[in-house]
């Protein structure tokens, strides 16, 4: 399946995963953004005519397109390599995030009675 002649098709399949996954995340982010602004009571100046259905339909279509790549010989590698790649990146992110977070040193708590009054 992987040979010199199929290199271009393989690279196209991988780049398609990136594009479709990015658009899927754009649709999800848009839904979350609109939900958060509505919850906060923020009035947006631009009203979308088909919100939220347009974003939901777009996200569902991106998932459908990703799934259908499994049934096209030239693009089977889209999900086969794309999903594990994203999983590895997420695992590396959480490993690095955990190793970079440091807990602040515990300091002795000082009550307000122990603090001397400020002289004026």
23-78 tens-digit pLDDT:
999 999 999 999 999 899 888 888 888 888 999 999 999 999 999 999 988 888 88
pTM over 0.85: no
The answer to whether residue 40 sits within a structural domain is yes
The answer to whether residue 15 sits within a structural domain is yes
82, 84, 98 from 95: Cα distances, Å: 20, 16, 5
Residue with tokens 């990136």: 18
81-115 tens-digit pLDDT:
888 989 999 999 999 988 887 655 555 555 555 55
The answer to whether residue 78 sits within a structural domain is yes
* Number of separate domains in the chain: 1
Q: At what angle do helices 53-68 and 77-100 cross, to 10 degrees?
A: 120
Measured CA to CA, the distance from residue 80 to residue 70 in angstroms comes to 8
The answer to whether residue 92 sits within a structural domain is yes
The answer to whether residue 114 sits within a structural domain is no
């Amino acid at each position: 399946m992987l040979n010199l002649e199929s290199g271009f098709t393989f690279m196209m399949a991988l780049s398609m995963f990136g594009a479709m996954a990015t658009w899927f995340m754009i649709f999800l982010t848009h839904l979350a953004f609109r939900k958060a602004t509505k919850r906060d009571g923020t009035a947006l100046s631009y009203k979308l005519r088909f919100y939220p259905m347009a974003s939901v339909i777009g996200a569902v279509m991106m998932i459908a397109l990703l799934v259908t790549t499994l049934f096209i010989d030239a693009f089977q590698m889209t999900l086969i390599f794309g999903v594990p790649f994203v999983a590895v990146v997420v695992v590396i992110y959480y490993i690095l995030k955990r190793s970079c977070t440091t807990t602040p040193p515990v300091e002795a708590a000082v009550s307000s009675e122990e603090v001397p009054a400020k002289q004026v």
